[in-house]
């Protein structure tokens, strides 16, 4: 099992953080374009899912899966969006994303005056805590499948 | 006691209000923060010592600052206290509360003084009310650990 990469978008739709662990194929475009594409995808999927749902759905869009990877989506009450690509069999990714938000983002970005709200995250302590948390999770493994 | 996060966020805003107006010039104006800390410490220590007998000597007071005072404010004790027995004390905190969220490397090192000013004042105010006039300075060499130096003024 493995975790490929992580995107964090703020409520205004700009990417405030991106990091990757095992990414074997690049998008073939600039980072900036890739972020726009990703946000567009999430935005559209969210409204598709809501509109086409035959029942009243509370959670909305949570994840999708291809034959090769799984995209996991978690949106906080404040509109922050966490997107993590994992392999298809990864479980409990939602829990991991919630913990990233609760234990790392809130602690080391919200409570850090050096991190301006809504701007790109440059804090090194955030980076190292995030990396540590992700690596400690069972679904993270260095074996590339 | 109010929730810890409230204190953290209030302190954070204090810093932004009193120190970041001078963002362009390198020197932060931290005297205002220090003064706020001073009066907070002065009043706080009154409340904390209400059940204490009178202190024996200066070292006794410093021990109180390192243990009870520090843990009531920061929920942890000072990790190390050194003195030259001539009125100079060095208080070592390995994980200073206001810095742990900000940095654990040399990043943002230049802006660390403003995170320490309030606490310097806090210690100075507390000591003042316990009868020690002092000068308190702080210095950070490897965040989030930092050293507070207390120089007691001998009359």
Q: Does A114 touch chain B (CB under 8 A)?
A: yes
Return the residue of A nearest to B6 by Cα. A111
Average pLDDT over residues B76-99: 90
CA distance A84 to A76: 14
Average pLDDT over residues B83-107: 87
Q: Residue B38 has what pLDDT?
A: 93
Q: Residue A84 has what pLDDT?
A: 92
CA distance A99 to A4: 17
State if pTM tops 0.95.
no
Q: Assign B149 a pLDDT band (cuts: 50, 70, 90).
A: very high
State whether B103 and A124 contact (CB < 8 Å): yes
Residues B100-131 have pLDDT tens digits of: 888 887 788 777 888 888 999 999 999 999 88
User: How distant, in Å, are the alpha carbons of A10, A95, A104 from that of A58?
Assistant: 21, 17, 26
Q: Does B111 touch chain A (CB under 8 A)?
A: yes
Q: Does B76 touch chain A (CB under 8 A)?
A: no
A143 pLDDT higher than 90: no
Whether the CB-CB separation of B120 and B138 falls below 8 Å is answered with: yes
CA distance B49 to B18: 30
Average pLDDT over residues A111-127: 85
ipTM here: 0.74
State whether B101 and A107 contact (CB < 8 Å): yes
DSSP string, chain B: ---HHHHHHHHHHHHHHHHGGG-SSSS---HHHHHHHHHHHHHHHHHHTTTPPPPSSHHHHHHHIIIIIHHHHHSS--SEEEE-SSSEEEEEETT-HHHHTT-SSSTTGGGTHHHHHHHHHHHHHHHHHTT--EEEEEE-SSTT-EEEEEEEPP-
Report the share of chain A in percent with pLDDT over 90: 30
Q: What angle do CA A132, B12, B89 make, to 5 degrees?
A: 85
Q: Residue A38 has what pLDDT?
A: 92
Average pLDDT over residues B7-26: 72
Q: Which of A112, A124, A128 sits opposite B101 (nearest CB)?
A: A112
Residues A37-70 have pLDDT tens digits of: 999 999 999 999 988 989 988 888 899 999 989 9
Residues of B in contact with A111 (CB under 8 A): 5, 8-9, 12, 101
Average pLDDT over residues A95-124: 87
CA distance A11 to A14: 8
């Amino acid at each position: 099992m493995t975790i490929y990469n992580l995107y964090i978008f703020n409520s205004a739709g700009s990417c405030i953080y991106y990091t990757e662990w095992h990414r074997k194929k690049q998008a073939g475009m600039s980072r900036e374009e890739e972020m726009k594409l990703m946000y567009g995808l999430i935005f559209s999927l969210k409204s598709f899912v809501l509109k086409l749902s035959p029942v009243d759905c509370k959670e909305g869009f949570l994840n999708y899966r291809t034959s090769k990877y799984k995209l996991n989506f978690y949106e906080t009450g404040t509109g922050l969006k966490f997107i993590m690509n994992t392999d298809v069999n990864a479980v409990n990714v939602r829990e991991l994303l919630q913990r990233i938000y609760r234990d790392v983002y809130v602690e080391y970005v919200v409570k850090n005056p050096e991190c301006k709200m809504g701007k790109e995250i440059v804090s090194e302590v955030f980076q190292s805590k995030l990396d540590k948390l992700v690596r400690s999770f069972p679904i993270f493994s260095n074996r590339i499948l | 006691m109010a929730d810890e996060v409230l204190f953290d966020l209030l302190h954070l805003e204090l810093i932004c209000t009193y120190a970041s107006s001078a963002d362009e010039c390198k020197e932060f104006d931290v005297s205002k923060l220090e003064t706020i800390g001073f009066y907070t410490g002065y009043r706080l220590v009154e409340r904390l010592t209400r059940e204490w007998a009178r202190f024996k000597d200066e070292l006794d007071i410093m021990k109180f600052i390192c243990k009870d005072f520090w843990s009531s404010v920061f929920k942890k004790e000072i990790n190390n206290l050194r003195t030259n027995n001539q009125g100079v004390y060095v208080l070592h905190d390995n994980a200073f509360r206001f810095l742990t969220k900000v940095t654990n490397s040399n990043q943002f090192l230049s802006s660390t003084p403003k995170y320490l000013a309030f606490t310097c004042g806090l210690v100075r105010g507390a000591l003042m009310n316990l009868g020690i006039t002092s000068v308190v300075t702080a210095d950070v060499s490897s965040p989030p650990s930092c050293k507070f130096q207390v120089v007691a003024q001998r009359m």
